[in-house]
Amino acid sequence: MASPASPARFSRNEYDVAVIGGGLLGSSIAWGLGRIGQRTTVLDEGDIAKRASRANFALVWVQSKGMGMPEYTGWTVRASENWSRLAAELAAQTSVDVHHQRPGGFHLALSESELEARAVSLKRLHNQPGATDYAIEVLDHDQVKKRLPHIGPDVVGGTYCPLDGHVNSLKFFRALHTGLAAFGVDYRPEHPVSAIRHENGEFRITTPKGEIRAAKIVLAAGNANMTLAPMVGLHAPMGPTRGQVLVTERTVPFLDFPLTTLRQTDEGTVMIGDSKEDELDDRGHRLPIDAVMADRARRMFPLLERLSIIRMWSGIRVMPEDGFPIYDQSETCPGAFVSCCHSGVTLAPNHAFDIAPMVAAGALDLDRLGAFSARRFTTQAPASSGYY
């Protein structure tokens, strides 16, 4: 770990770093900053914020990510490799077990054409120049059934990647915030940011509860980064979507592996996802979409049919316009960073162990993160990340 920052250097500022956004991404970076002794505050909205961190599906997912940007594949594989270390550090610090597991994950196909399309897209992904090589298997029904004995006859086959896993993302969120407090990070709820000024080498941040000053800032406000970024000479084009999730009553453990659209939590409930709509009202909900998700789930696992659905919700995905993460630093306002991505759960170890030290040092490592600069939006057409 790096040593704490020199007090002299930051004496005119209240904080070394102000992280704007207290969801999983902002909390992961702030936790990483606290961990290396940075005087850090987190400026967050309140309880009614649209918060993907409480609506997400909690996969730590590798397979299928990175079509159109091979660097994203490598970045995701790195996160998968470091997740158990993050879980262990949080458990040691906070006594919260986030139930991280990496048994590998499946994507199941309910028709030959689905399976073929999946296999073709994974092959294209792997054939990209510079793509990180990792194991992935395309399996037929019988091969899947060996590891998922409860699949139904409609399952034609699937893909399996040993790097995939999942966590309890609500416990993870709680562990991060417990850890922030333990590191002495100032968490400030009800501090939505309306303006940021860069003056005399420091940032002055306007909130309803007064001005906050910091030597550096990290924009980690999800889709709101789109509005905040231009205040400090940055660019963060976002294209959020809405997703719906169903949750069943608790049942005995029956599923040893997470799937792209279905997983059993450590507490026994079964989560079923995940739809994608352009609607951005998280209070809205479309039952026909639930019906399709539930029907596909019971075709995958007929045993689910008799379980009751006890909860359902909509959430708004944080989603950069082209689906890939944005990590960037301001040229006009040195010390301002922006960080946004869809996968706040999957990429959390990188945010804590990689991004945070770079922010503390004052510069992103462009050899590793150059591809994620928002400058790509001015030079190339949007691609698709294949976000799950």
Partner 1 sequence: MFRRIGDPAAATVTIEIEGTLVKARPGDSVTAALLASGLDFCRHTPVSGTPRGPYCMMGVCFDCLVTIDGVGNRQGCLVPVAEGMKITLQKGKREIGQ
Residues that bind partner 1 (CB under 8 A): 150, 249-252, 254, 268, 302-304, 306-308
Q: How far is the CB of 161 from partner 1 (least distance, A)?
A: 25
CB of 35 to partner 1, least distance (A): 35
**Least distance CB 267 / partner 1 (angstroms):** 11
Strand duo 40-43 + 15-20: pairing = parallel
| Smallest gap from residue 301 Cβ to partner 1 (A) | 8
Q: Which is nearer to partner 1, 211 or 267 (CB)?
A: 267
CB nearer to partner 1: give 249 or 281.
Answer: 249
Closer Cβ to partner 1, 302 or 334, answer by number: 302
Dihedral of the alpha carbons of 305, 311, 315, 317, in degrees to the nearest 10: -40
**Residue (94 or 248) nearer to partner 1, CB:** 248
Specify the residue, 178 or 251, whose C-beta has the smaller distance to partner 1: 251
Tokens of 77: 């594989």
Strand partners, 106: 160, 259
Judged by CB, which is closer to partner 1: 268, or 362?
268
Q: Kindly state the smallest distance separating residue 302's Cβ from partner 1, in Å.
A: 8
Q: Which two tokens stand for residue 164?
A: 């995939």
Q: How far is residue 35's CA from residue 43's CA, in Å, rounded to a whole number? A: 18
Nearest to 46 by CA among 22, 19, 26, 15: 22
Alpha carbon separation from 177 to 32, 33, 124 (Å, rounded): 12, 13, 39
Q: How far is the CB of 308 from partner 1 (least distance, A)?
A: 7
How far are the Cα atoms of 166, 265, 267, 270, 380 from residue 249, in angstroms, in the given order?
Answer: 19, 11, 10, 7, 46
d(CA 163, CA 165): 7
The Cα 292–Cα 309 span in angstroms is 14
As measured in angstroms, the least distance from the Cβ of 263 to partner 1 is 14
Residues in the chain: 388
Nearest CA to 152 among 305, 302, 307, 306? 302
| Closer to partner 1 by Cβ: residue 227 or 251 | 251
Structure token digits, residue 375: 């400058």
Q: Return the number of the residue (126 or 145) whose C-beta is nearest partner 1.
A: 145
Note the helical H segments in the chain.
24-35, 70-94, 112-127, 141-147, 169-182, 225-228, 287-300, 348-350, 356-361, 366-369, 376-379
